[in-house]
Structure 1
Amino acid sequence: MASTDTQTPEKPVRADKARNRERILVAAREAFGTRGIETQMDDVAAGAGVGVGTVYRHFPTKEALMGELVRQKFELILEHAREGLEEDGEPFEVFAAVLRRNCETTAGDAAAQHALMGAGDEVWAYARPTVDELHVVIQVLIDRAQAAGAMRPDFSSADMPMVMCGVSASMAHGGWDWRRHLEILLDGLRTSPR
């Protein structure tokens, strides 16, 4: 008796569905960047040019939508950190370059700033696997800088959320120079501040 395949092949995502999802994410970035976490799903739907039901079909809650924005941002931040692992150079400067690059990425995305400062546990749950991997990669960069004697020994990747939240707060405050804030933090991490 011939065996039958009981698995149903996965349907490819329809092109219009994928386009709608991308339009929703673009509109959400803009809406959260402008209004912060006060943004409503109706605001996102209007910005995307779709009905609010379409938004809810893709993202059943506002937290799910914010979670996807946070996850995407951390995927990019993780990519920068992985690139740092491949770079030659003085280990502290490699770490600092990765941090600067990631801060520039965050500075250009007000939605990410709001998420970093105000997202709850439900939002962070969507990005948790990416954030966990990011902690591992950043710790390797930190370990290298500490082994070279260039970074204070009591710093770890567990401190990075505090660092990024502080710099994000400077970004959100219109009159503060977040780059100066970052350089002051980096000097505080060196074993011999410049």
Structure 2
Amino acid sequence: MSGRKAQAARNDELILTAARAVFTADPGAPIAAVAERAGVGISALYRRYPSKEALLQKLCGDGLQLYIAVAEQAMRDHDDPWEEFAGYMRGIVDADTNSLTIKLAGTFHPTQELHQHAARASELATRLHTRAVEAGVLRPDITPADLALIFEQLASVKLGDEQRTGELRHRFLALMLDSLRQPPAHRPLPGRAPDDLELSVRWSPVG
């Protein structure tokens, strides 16, 4: 890319990273907060995204495409039905697309393209669920909607820094996977359990 195009691409990446951080912390934040966090001028942001609505649509569109990519990859990677399903669950937790769902659902008007992406994501989730049930490795009383809410529960786990949060999310995912498996499994849980200090420090005043 030319220098100008490369700079525009860098600015776009900065804007989207900042927007995700700002709006998952506070969906009501003004778009100026995104420009400030990204370190770009408000005019540069508006040239790329003419409104907060457009920026939210872009964030959620990217999240849906990432979800689709993770699900499709899980279906390609494994011949073992349980590992296919578990790989999908781990991939979605790592992608953290459900943090967007928790915070941004109902805060903007989805486009037709977003509806199409959502339909594809739902189709893949249903296929992965059905394949696991039919293979006899997933509890038959679990539905795709149950799994969607499990992802949201795991996305709500936030403790310490990004690395610690990821470790804890995978610890609790492993616990959930053992309860979802048919027959139930009892494997050692990964990662260190949260301690009282980690939980209590959240109540300390900020600043």
TM-score by length of 1: 0.74
After superposition, residues 75-90 of structure 1 pair within 5 angstroms as 75-90=65-80
**Counterpart of 2:146?**
159
| Aligned amino acid, residue 32 of structure 2 | D
After superposition, residues 116-135 of structure 1 pair within 5 angstroms as 116-123=101-108, 125-126=110-111, 127-135=114-122
Q: Residue 28 of structure 1 aligns to a residue in which SS?
A: helix
Compute the displacement of 1:31 (Å): 3.4
After superposition, residues 1-194 of structure 1 pair within 5 angstroms as 15=5, 20-32=11-23, 35-106=25-96, 112=97, 114-123=99-108, 125-126=110-111, 127-170=114-157, 172-174=158-160, 177-194=168-185
Q: Deviations over 1:32-65 (max 9, x none)?
A: 46x4424321121123343324423433432431
Q: Residue 37 of structure 1 aligns to a residue in which SS?
A: coil
Q: 1:122 to 1:40 in 2, by over 3 A?
A: closer
Distance 1:160 1:123 in 2: 24
Q: Deviations over 1:57-114 (max 9, x none)?
A: 43343243123112212212211111122233321221111110221121xxxxx554
Q: 1:179 to 1:22 in 2, by over 3 A?
A: closer
Q: CA RMSD in A?
A: 2.7
Higher relative contact order (CA 8 A, sep 6+): 1
Structure exhibiting the larger radius of gyration computed from Cα positions: 1
Gaps of 5+ in 1: 1-13, 107-111
TM-score by length of 2: 0.70
Compute the displacement of 1:167 (Å): 0.6
| Aligned amino acid, residue 183 of structure 1 | A
Q: Is the 8 A contact 1:45 1:52 kept in 2?
A: yes
In terms of mean alpha carbon deviation, does 77-86 or 45-54 score higher?
Answer: 45-54
**Counterpart of 1:7?**
none
Aligned length: 174
Distance 1:88 1:164 in 2: 21
Identity of aligned residues (%): 29
Q: Is the 8 A contact 1:77 1:102 kept in 2?
A: yes
Q: Residue 121 of structure 1 aligns to a residue in which SS?
A: coil
Compute the displacement of 1:124 (Å): 7.2
Q: 1:59 to 1:159 in 2, by over 3 A?
A: farther
